[in-house]
Chain A
Amino acid sequence: MSQNRLASHTGAVIDFTFNGKSYQGIAGDTLASALLANGVDVVGRSFKYSRPRGIFGHGAEEPNAIIQLGSGASTVPNLKATQVELYQGLEASSVNGWPSVNFDVMAIVGAFGRLMPPGFYYKTFMYPKKLWMTYEHFIRKAAGLGTAPVEADPDTYDKLNQHCDVLVVGAGPAGLVAAREAARTGARVIIADEQSEFGGSLLASQQTMDGVMAPRWVASLVAELVAYKNVQLLPRSTVFGYYDHNFLTILERRTDHLGLSSAQGTRQRLHRVRAVQVVLATGAFERPLVFAHNDIPGVMLASSVSTYINRYGVAPGKKLLLFTTNDSAYQTALDWQQTGRQIIAVVDTRSNPSGDIVAAVKLRGIEVIGGHGLIEAQGNKRVKRALIAPINASGTQVTGPVRRLNCDLIACSGGWSPAVHLSSHTGAKPVWDESIVGFRPGESKQQERSAGACRGTFDLTGCLAEGASAGAVAASLCGHGDGSVQFPACAVEDYIEQPQQALFLVPHTSATSRAPSQFVDFQLDVSAGGIELAVREGFESVEHVKRYTALGFGTDQGKLGNINGMAILANALDQTIAETGTTIFRPSYTPTTFGAIAGRDVKALFDPERYTAMHRWHVEHGAEFENVGQWKRPWYFPQQGETMNDAVNRECLAVRNSVGMLDASTLGKIDIQGPDAAEFITRIYTNSYLKLAPGKCRYGVMLKEDGMIFDDGVCACLGDNHYLMFTTTGGAAGVLAWLEIWQQTEWPELQVYFTSVTDHWATATVTGPNARRVIAKVCQDIDLSNEAFSFMDWRDGTVAGVKARVFRISFTGELSYEVNVPAHYGRHIWQALIEAGEEFSMTPYGTETMHVLRAEKGFIIVGQDTDGSMTPADMNMDWVVGNKKTFSFIGKRSLQRSDTLRENRKQFVGLKTVDGQAVLPEGAQVVFDAKQKIPMSMQGHVTSSYYSAYLGHSIALAVVKGGLGRMGQVVHCPLADGRIIAAEIVSSVFYDPKGERHHVE
C-alpha cells in the first residue's frame, strides 16, 4: 500500500484524500511525505506549459506541490503540501491542472510551449484589447492558482501585541542555542519557527551532538527552554515581515493541523512583536541544479530526500541518482543506502571530489563519477533515466560522450542559498559572496544580526558557535548579561568539506536556446532559455527581467530559483553576479491569510459604535439609527406602519405645534478654564467672548487659517474664567485637537486648560411652544419666565430630582430647553421628561426631523451646507464676524484675500421649488439657463433639501454664485434622470424670519 514507507517507521494511521483518491499516512507526516509514501508522483501542473510536476522540496521552498485544502467556506487555496500537517480526514486537491493533473488540456498547449514565450502577458497586452479578453478567460480558467472560497470565512483569527528583548527567528541549531544564551540572562525571549517541531535541519540529521542523536539533543534543549519563564516558544509560527523600529509580524497557525472544520478557537494568530533585538537564524535553502527537464517528477533536492528518509521514514523512489556540485549532498547517499534501496551513482561536477564524506561514500561501495554533469532527465510523469556527460572544469561545456543511467529518482544539490529574506525586509541589500556561492545578509538596518546558515555558515559547529554568540550579544544589548557565551560548546563531528563548484546552469549538448527546457523557476515555468531570451530582447536590470519573465513571482517567491536565475542573467549579460545584484525581498515571507491581518476587527467589532446614555430607550422605542461619526443617533422614531416620510412629517409638526424631544448628547462639549480662557476663545471664534457674562451663551463659528468655516456651536460662560464650548458631533475631537495645537504651539503664554466633557453630559432637548410647560412639571427651582431665563441663557437647577444644567438655546427656532445631566442620569431624565410631556403629546424625534426644522430656519450644518470652501460672508453670516476685536482671530487675514473678496463667489441662499411638491435631491447642480447645451455652466449646488410638512412645500438650501444678489430669480436643477426642476432663489430663512417663536409665553 504505502510502497515508499520504510518498515522502521510506524505510527498511528491517518486517512486522507488527494484529488479524490483515498490514501493513508502516518501521524507526523506532512501531506507531502504522505503522498511520497504512497508513490504519488504527479501533484500538479505547471503554470504556463502545464507540465506534470512532483514534490521537489520539503518546506517553504516547495514550488510544485501547491494544493487546495478542503472545500466550501473553509477551503484554503495555494498551500504547500510540504507545510500541511496531515490530519484525519484531510481532503486536498491540486490547484493547477484542470480538468485533472493526469490529463490536462493545457498539456496540448504545453506541447506548443513556445507559443507562450517570456513576456507573454506583456505581449498579449500589446495586441488589440479585444483579444486580451479571450486570452484572459482562457488563461485564468486553465492556469489559475487555486480558488478563494465564495462563502464568508467561518474561522476566527486574532492578534496579539508582543514585546520582548530578544526575538529569535528560526529554531534550528543556531536559533536554539541563541535562545538559550539569551534566556539564561533573564532577557524576555520569543523564539518562533515555522515548522510543527523545533530543530530545523537537525530533525532530519544523522549527526551526534554531545553523544546523542541530533533529534534527541534538540528535544532536551527545547525542554530546557520551556522551563524558562521568560521564554515564549512559538512553533508553527512564521515570521513573515520585518518592519521599521524592530517591529516584526508572526503568523501562528494554531488549529490548521487539526483539520479545517473540527477546530475550535482561533485558527491563526498574528503576533505583532516589538523586539529590542532580533537574532535571525532562518537557515538556508538548497539550490536546485538547472539541467534539461529538471522538472520531471522524481527530481528533488538532496536535502529533501534525506529529510523524507530520516524524519518521515519515506524513501521517495527505488533507484537514486545523486547529482551535486558540493560535499553536503553526499550525506543523502549515505542516508539512502541505509534504506536498503539502490543507489546508482553520485555524479559530481568537480573533476576530483575528495572530501572526507566523499571518501566515506566511496568506502561504502557507492560509485562517484567526478567531472560529469547530469545534462538531462528523461521520462514523462516520472524520471526514467538520466543523461550524464563529462563537462569542462568551468562547467560551461559538454566535453565527452553522453551516457544513459536508468533511475527513478534524481536528488540534486547546487549548494546552499542563505535565507536572507527577513534581513532584506529591513532594507539591507544582500551581498554576493563568492566563497559561499551565495548572497549573505547585507549591513544591518535594524537591531538585528544573522547567525548560522542564513549568514552563510553551513557547518554545524559554526552554526552553534554563531548562534550562541548572537544570543548572548543580543541579550547584553538589552541590558542582560555581558555578551559572553555561557554554555559549553556542543561536541559535534563535522566532515571537513572541500570547496564546492559554482554552477548555475548545467551545459547541454545543445545550446541553451535549443536544449530541452532547463527550468529555473518551476512554479512559473521560467527556463534558462527564457532568461537569455529576455536579455536578447533588451532587458538588463534584474528587476526588469524578473517582471518580464515572472521569475520569482510564484507563491514560493523564488526561494529556489532566484539565485540560479540571477546567475544565468549575469552570464548572459557578461557581468558578475555581484554586478547584477538581486531583487529585493519584501514581506510576506510566505503567503499570509487576510483573516489573520483583519483579526477580530470584523463585523460588530469592526468599528466602535458609540452610544448615548439614552440609547437603550431609543432601541426599545423602535428608533431607526443614523451613523454620525462613530455615534449611533436616532434618525427617526417610526410608529406602526409609518414610512420615514410619515414619521418625519409627524415629528416636525409635533415640535412646531406642541413639543418634541431630541437626544442631543452627542454634541461635542469642551470645558475651558483659565485666566486667559476668554481671550483664547475670542481668538478661535470669529466673534468676541470678552464681555460674555456668566449665565450667558453665544453662537460662534470658527475658521481654519484659510478663512473657511470648519466648526460652529454655542459657547457658554459658566463663571469667571470658565467656559463650556459646544462643537458639532462629528467635529468634537478635531476641535479639541485644534485648541490644543494653538495653545501649545502658538500661544503657550495664554493660561488655559481644555477638558472634553462630551461623555459626561447627557442632553435632552425639549423644544416647541409647550416646552416651558413640560420643563415646569419636573423643575421647580429655576424661574422659567422669559424675563428671568431668557433666550441664550443657561441656569443650574434640579430636573426630576437630578442636578442639571439647562440651556435656553435652540436649533429649531422654537422655545427650547436643553437639559444636561451627568450621563449616568441620562435615561432617568429622559424618561421623566417623556412622562412630563405626555399631556402635551411630546414626541421624541431624531436627526432627520432636526435637520428639517433647522433648515426651515436656515441654520447651517457645517460639513453639509459648508464644504471647507465657505467663508462666513459666503454663508451670509457677516454678523458673526467681529472685525473690531483688538487681537486677530484665526482666519481673519484670509478673509481679505482677493479670492475671498471677489464677486460671484458661491453664496448661501434658500431655494423654493416652483412645484412645491418636488423635492430637490441634495447635491443637485444649479444652472441659470436650462436650455444651455452640455457642458452647462454650473452655478451652484443644493446643500440641503427636505419636504417641510409645516410649510406644506419643499424647501432647499443651496450655494449659488452671487446668490445673495439674485433673490427672486428662477434657477434650474437638471437631474440625472432627465427632469429639470425649477426653483426660486429666496432667503435661507423659511420660517419665522423675525425669530419671535423663541419668546412665546
Chain B
Amino acid sequence: MSNNSQQELPLNYFHRVSSHRGQAPNAEIFNGEVEYALVVKESPACAFLSLRGDPNDAGFCAAVIDILELNLSTRGNYHCSSQSRIYWLGPDEWLLVSEIDASVLEARLREAMSGHISIVDVSGGQTMVNLRGAPMAIDSVLKKSCIYDFAGWSNAGSGKGRCAQTTFAKASALVSNRTDGSFDLIIRRSFADYIALWMLDAGREFGLRIEG
C-alpha cells in the first residue's frame, strides 16, 4: 500500500550536504577525495513505537520478549537484535525501533498485552541518524551539543548499549552508542533541519557531511 517513493525522510534535503559546501566541488566531497572526519547518515524509514507499561507485569515483559525477541531494557540502556531495538526512556516508558511494519508490530503487541498499557506509533515524527568518524571529532561535536557526559558510558556490547534522552543544542535527542564507537541520535522531525544545520556547523572544524 504505502511505498517508499511516497516517503520523504526528515533530512531528505540535507543528503549530500557537507560542511564545506562551496569550498570543494561536490563530486570530490562524495568521492572521498576530500577527507571527512565526520559522517552523519540518516537511516531508512522504520517503525518507531512508544511503549508504556508496568515492567513488574510478567505478562507485559513476556510479550515484549515474545514479539521483539528482546528483553525490556533497564535504566539508561537499550537492547538490540538484527531487526529491532528497545530503548529505555523512563521507569515505565520505552521506545521501540524496528524494521517490522509499525502497524503490524503494534497489532502484535496489542494482541499479546493486556491491562494498562500504551502503544503509540510515532514513526512519522522521528528519524535516526548515525554519527561516525574520528573519536575526537565525535567527542567534540557531542560536547558542543549536549550537557550530558557520554564519556561516563561503558562501551556498547553485543546486543546492548547505553542511551540517554538529553538536550541537543536547543532541541532534544535520544543518544545511544554503538559497538563501532559511533553514536545514534533519534531526533524529532520538526527539529531535524535545525539539528542538521547545527551539526554541519559543529563539525565544520573537522569536516562533516550528511548522507541518506
Interface residues of A (CB under 8 A from B): 158-163, 188, 265-266, 272, 274, 600-601, 604-605, 607-613, 615-616, 631, 671, 673-675, 751, 753, 755-762, 798, 800-803, 821-828
A824 touches B149 (CB 8 A): no
Using known A-B contacts A673-B120, A802-B2, determine if residue A158 contacts B193 with beta carbons closer than 8 Å: no
Would you call B17 an interface residue if the criterion is a C-beta within 8 Å of the partner chain's C-beta atoms? no
- The CA-CA distance from A634 to B133 in the complex, in Å, is 38
Q: B103 within 8 Å of A by Cβ?
A: yes
Given A163-B152, A608-B171, verify A803-B191 contact (CB < 8 Å).
no
Q: Report A-chain residues with C-beta under 8 Å of the C-beta of B149.
A: 163, 274
Q: Report if B211 contacts A (CB, 8 A).
A: no
CB <8 Å contact, B122 and A803? no
Nearest chain A CB to B107's CB is how many angstroms away? 13
> Looking at chain A's contact residues, is the secondary structure mostly helix, strand, loop, or mixed?
mixed
Q: Is the CB of B205 within 8 A of A265?
A: yes
Bound Cα distance A266, B206 (Å) = 12
CA distance A798 to B23 in the complex (A): 46
Question: 1/0 per position for B118-140, CB-CB distance to A under 8 A?
Answer: 11111111100000000000001
**Contact call A616/B144, Cβ cutoff below 8 A:** no
Residue of B nearest to A822 (CB): B124
- Complex CA–CA separation, A678 to B201 (angstroms): 46
Interface residues of B (CB under 8 A from A): 1-3, 6-10, 13, 45, 50, 52, 103, 116-126, 140, 143-144, 146-147, 149, 151-152, 169-171, 188-194, 197-198, 201-202, 205
Report 27 cross-chain contacts, Cβ distance below 8 Å, ordered by A residue. Answer: A158-B144, A160-B143, A265-B205, A274-B147, A600-B198, A605-B169, A605-B197, A609-B193, A609-B194, A610-B194, A616-B13, A671-B118, A673-B118, A758-B125, A759-B122, A759-B124, A759-B188, A801-B1, A802-B2, A802-B6, A803-B103, A822-B121, A823-B124, A824-B8, A824-B9, A824-B124, A826-B124
CB atoms of A755 and B50 under 8 A apart: yes
Q: List chain B residues, Cβ under 8 A from A803.
A: 1-2, 103
Contact B123 A824 (CB under 8 A): yes
Q: Are B125 and A757 in contact (CB under 8 A)?
A: yes
State whether A760 touches B8 (Cβ < 8 A). Answer: no
Known contacts A613-B189, A751-B116, A824-B45; is-contact A798 B1 (Cβ 8 Å): yes
Measured CB to CB, the closest approach of chain B to A896, in angstroms, equals: 35
Residue from A274, A600, A608 within 8 A of B191 (CB atoms): A608
Chain A residues with Cβ below 8 Å from B116 are 674-675, 751, 753
Q: Are B124 and A825 closer than 8 Å at their CB atoms?
A: yes
Chain A residues with CB under 8 Å of B193's CB are 609, 611, 615
| Nearest-neighbor residue (CB-CB) of B50 within chain A | A755
Residues of A within 8 A of B192 (CB): 611
| Cβ–Cβ contact A163 & B146, under 8 A | no
Q: Which of B6, B52, B170 contacts A825 (CB 8 A)?
A: B6
Given contacts A751-B116, A824-B124, A826-B8, contact A610 B201 (CB under 8 A): no
Which of B122, B123, B124, B143 is A755 in contact with, Cβ under 8 Å?
B122
The verdict on A760 contacting B123 (CB below 8 Å), with A751-B116, A802-B6 known, is yes
Q: Which residue of B lies closest to A158 (CB)?
A: B144
In Å, the complex CA distance between A802 and B123 comes to 14
> What's the minimum C-beta distance from A443 to chain B, rounded to whole angstroms?
29
Distance, CA A600 to CA B198, complexed state (A) = 9
Contacts of B120 in A (CB 8 A): 671, 673, 755, 757
Q: Is the CB of B125 within 8 A of A760?
A: yes
**In the complex, which residues of chain B have a beta carbon less than 8 angstroms from the beta carbon of A610?**
190-191, 194
Name A751's closest neighbour in chain B (CB-CB): B116
Partner among B122, B144, B151, B201 whose Cβ is within 8 Å of the Cβ of A163: B151
Kindly state the separation between the CA atoms of A615 and B192 in the bound complex, as whole angstroms: 12
* B208 CB → nearest A CB, Å: 14
Main secondary structure on B side of the interface with A = mixed
Top 6 A-B residue pairs of the complex, sorted by shortest distance between their CB atoms: A759-B125, A822-B124, A753-B118, A823-B124, A760-B125, A608-B194
Q: How far, in angstroms, from A822 to B127 measured CA to CA in the complex?
A: 12
Is B118 in contact with A266, judged by CB distance below 8 angstroms? no
Minimal Cβ-Cβ distance residue in A for B201:
A600
Q: Nearest chain B CB to A908's CB is how many angstroms away? A: 32
A615, A675, A751, A755 interface centre (most CB from chain B within 10 Å): A755
Across-interface contacts of B197 in A (CB, < 8 A): 604-605
- A823 touching B125 in the complex, CB below 8 Å, given contacts A607-B170, A755-B118: yes
Residues of B within 8 A of A801 (CB): 1-3, 6
CA distance A759 to B121 in the complex (A): 11
Q: Pick the contact of B52 from A266, A755, A802 — CB < 8 Å?
A: A755
Q: How far is the CB of B135 from chain A (nearest CB, A)?
A: 11
Q: How far is the CA of A826 from the CA of B9 in the complex (A)?
A: 10
Considering the complex, give the chain A residue whose CB is closest to the CB of B150.
Answer: A163
Docked pose: A161 CA to B142 CA in angstroms: 9
Given contacts A265-B205, A753-B118, contact A160 B2 (CB under 8 A): no
B90 CB to closest chain A CB, in angstroms? 11
Q: In the docked arrangement, what's the CA distance between A671 and B52, Å? A: 12
Residues of A within 8 A of B8 (CB): 613, 824-828
Closest to B45 in A: A824
A160 to B120, CA, bound (A): 36
Nearest-Cβ distance from residue B26 to partner chain A, whole angstroms: 20
A534 to chain B, nearest CB (A): 45
Determine how close the nearest CB of chain A comes to the CB of B96; give it in whole angstroms. Answer: 13
- A residues in contact with B126, CB < 8 Å: 759
Of B13, B45, B189, chain A has the most CB atoms within 10 Å of the CB of B189
B120, B126, B198, B202 interface centre (most CB from chain A within 10 Å) = B120
| CB–CB B190/A611 < 8 A | yes
* Docked complex Cα distance between A639 and B189 (Å): 29
- Given A163-B151, A612-B190, 10 more contacts at CB 8 Å? A163-B152, A188-B151, A266-B205, A611-B193, A675-B116, A756-B125, A760-B122, A800-B6, A822-B121, A822-B124
Distance of A162 Cα from B8 Cα, bound (Å) = 36
Measured between beta carbons, the chain A residues less than 8 angstroms from B121 are 760, 822
From A676, which residue of chain B is reached at the shortest CB distance?
B116
Q: Given the complex of chains A and B, what is the CA–CA distance between A615 and B126 in angstroms?
A: 16
| Contact in complex: A825, B2 (CB < 8 Å) | yes
CA distance A608 to B173 in the complex (A): 14
- Specify the chain B residue showing the minimal Cβ separation from A802: B2
Interface centre among B2, B149, B152 (most CB of A within 10 A): B2
Q: Which residues of B contact A823 (CB under 8 A)?
A: 10, 124-125, 189
Residues of B within 8 A of A761 (CB): 124-125
Contact B118 A674 (CB under 8 A): yes
Q: How far is the CA of A944 from the CA of B188 in the complex (A)?
A: 33
User: Given the complex, which residues of A lie within 8 Å of B198, measured CB to CB?
Assistant: 600, 605
A821 CA / B152 CA spacing, docked (Å): 40
Q: In the complex, what distance in Å separates the CA atom of A159 from the CA atom of B167?
A: 15
Which of B8, B103, B192 has the most CB atoms of chain A within a 10 A radius of its CB? B8
